[in-house]
Chains A and B, each alone.
Chain A
Amino acid sequence: MSDFSFASILQTLSAGLGITILMTVVSFTVGTMLAVPLALMRTSKLRILRAPAVAVIDISRGIPPLVWLLIIYFGISPIVPLEPLPAGLIGLSIISAGYLAENFRAGIDNVHLGQKEAAAALGLTPSNQFWRIIAPQALNISIPPSASYAVALLKDTAIASIIGVADIIFLAQNEVSRGGSAVLVFSVAALLYLLVGIPLSYFSRFVDGVVRSKVVTA
């Protein structure tokens, strides 16, 4: 016996909402942790540090997210047994790392040169110049684009349904194959994304406003 009413579909798909949010939060967090060292290497004066960072960032961003997930899932699971969810998390984290590293790099590059000079003229060591003066401002500059990336990432997690992660879209496809109306089912899915995405967008705009006064850009 099947019930394909709005309420019933909403209830079924809501079970995937947690997974969608989990993927967003985890891959954003892991992505950030990977992105910080990548951005530092990327802005290094030393080519030996810079070159590999450039390569990693370009590759992570240059391959379509869907292809990343397929490669990781089908490439790794025959060797090491890998569930769809961890495979999805690994892929999305790598992709996030690339985008966020670029945001942080742009943040570092956009702090006005005069800031570093003022810090140097005050006898700050190169390390203090960076961590006390450049990094806090770079972070402020890169927070708004990173917050809007979080919104993009939330939507991008939908591709993990392809490798079998039981997120909103995976459950939606299930419902459709069981006889639910595709338009209705996917509309409910869309509604669930908006439910999280809109507050996240508002938050990112709020952050943008807060941060604006705290930096002098190049």
Chain B
Amino acid sequence: MQDPRVLLDAESIKKSFKDNEVLKGVTLKVHAGEVIALIGPSGAGKSTFLRCLNYLERPTGGALSLDGQAAFVDPLKPSKTELLKLRRRVGMVFQTFNLFPHLSVVKNIVLAQKLNGLRNAKEAEDYALKLLGQVGLADKAHAKPSECSGGQQQRIAIARALSLDPELMLFDEPTSALDPEVGNDVLKVMRDLADRGMTMIVVTHEMKFAERVADRVLLLDQGGILEEGPPAQVFYNPTHERTRTFLQAVLDR
């Protein structure tokens, strides 16, 4: 059962780079515990939209609310405090993992907890080890990221993002840089997370994952939402011809 509470309300998010309008006003309400899959052709604006949700990309229009509260007094001029507050509540996992190579695995997960004053050193380390256990990598705690495989690095990156107890997790093509086999380990961790009730937005090309795990699928095309609905509807009974063409192209690959 889904919590009817709207956790994230992204209202008409726009983003332009110079004259190039990448997002033409994307609106998305996400309920607590819901898993959203963002699919669509490259250049559709999926990643840009996702990155606007934690302001790694600063939107040129629109507004964000978390739990019914506006994230910014002025969405176009976020204050430093508002930015930090938003980012401490929203975790992000990147396509290229972006672990900190100069820190051990466990320190990667400890750092933000300590700097954000969430836990003291001892608690932060215990929590990091617990999270590493959850992603099946307790034995890698004292390794360097460079000593871990891509799939392991991505699972560590998930543990790192979870270390701040986020209410919402953003995944930006988390398996695109991985071999299919290794990618499955990452997808399994994500599925477990979804099962435990985490609210997630996942930009992905993994249609099977989207179908099995997502509650709702959004198809973005040319900076707008083209199709939106439960996986069964979007995948098997889409309303737009464009959706059919895209899905066909993905499945033929």
Q: Are B111 and A132 in touch, CB under 8 angstroms?
A: yes
Give the Cβ gap from B77 to chain A, nearest Cβ, in Å. 16
Digit string of A182-195 for contact with B (CB within 8 Å is 1, else 0)?
00000000000000
Which of B9-17, B59-67, B95-103 lies at the interface? B95-103
Give the Cβ gap from B159 to chain A, nearest Cβ, in Å. 12
Q: Are A120 and B115 in touch, CB under 8 angstroms?
A: no
Which of A43-51, A102-110, A111-119, A198-206 lies at the interface? A111-119
Give the Cβ gap from A206 to chain B, nearest Cβ, in Å. 18
Q: Is A63 an interface residue (CB 8 A)?
A: no
User: Which residues on A sit within 8 Å (CB–CB) of B144?
Assistant: 213-214
A122, A126, A213, A216 interface centre (most CB from chain B within 10 Å): A122
Q: Is B217 an interface residue (CB 8 A)?
A: no
Q: How many positions in chain B have a CB within 8 Å of any CB in the partner chain?
A: 26
Q: Are B101 and A122 in touch, CB under 8 angstroms?
A: no
Q: Is B214 an interface residue (CB 8 A)?
A: no
Which of B83-91, B219-227, B232-240 lies at the interface? B83-91
User: Which residues on A sit within 8 Å (CB–CB) of B100?
Assistant: 115, 118-119, 133, 137
User: Which residues on B sit within 8 Å (CB–CB) of A214?
Assistant: 101-102, 144, 146
Q: Which of B54, B94, B115, B164 makes the CB contact (< 8 A) with A128?
A: B115
Q: Is B38 an interface residue (CB 8 A)?
A: no
Closest residue of B by beta carbon distance from A128: B115
Instruction: Tell me the bound Cα distance from A140 to B160 in angstroms.
Output: 23
Q: Are A121 and B54 in touch, CB under 8 angstroms?
A: yes
Q: Is A125 an interface residue (CB 8 A)?
A: yes
User: Which residues on B sit within 8 Å (CB–CB) of A121?
Assistant: 54, 56, 87, 90-92, 94, 161
A118, A137, A140, A214 interface centre (most CB from chain B within 10 Å): A118
Q: Are A216 and B84 in touch, CB under 8 angstroms?
A: no
Q: Is A123 an interface residue (CB 8 A)?
A: yes
User: Which residues on B sit within 8 Å (CB–CB) of A125?
Assistant: 80, 84, 115
Q: Is A136 an interface residue (CB 8 A)?
A: yes
Q: Is A54 an interface residue (CB 8 A)?
A: no
Q: Are A122 and B146 in touch, CB under 8 angstroms?
A: no
User: Which residues on B sit within 8 Å (CB–CB) of A120?
Assistant: 56, 87
Q: Is B44 an interface residue (CB 8 A)?
A: no
Q: Are B92 and A215 in touch, CB under 8 angstroms?
A: no
Q: Are B94 and A118 in touch, CB under 8 angstroms?
A: yes
Q: Are A215 and B80 in touch, CB under 8 angstroms?
A: no
Q: Is B116 an interface residue (CB 8 A)?
A: yes
Q: Are A122 and B164 in touch, CB under 8 angstroms?
A: yes
Which residues of chain B in 154-205 are interfacial with respect to chain A, using CB atoms and an 8 Å cutoff?
157, 160-161, 164
- Sort A-B residue pairs by CB-CB distance and give the 8 closest, nearest first: A118-B98, A122-B112, A123-B88, A114-B98, A121-B92, A123-B87, A136-B102, A214-B102
Q: Mark A residues whose CB is within 8 Å of B.
A: 112, 114-115, 117-126, 128, 132-133, 136-137, 140, 213-216
If A132-B111, A137-B100 are given as contacts, then 11 extra A-B residue pairs at C-beta distance below 8 Å, sorted by A number, are A114-B96, A118-B92, A118-B94, A118-B98, A121-B90, A122-B116, A122-B161, A123-B116, A124-B112, A125-B84, A215-B102
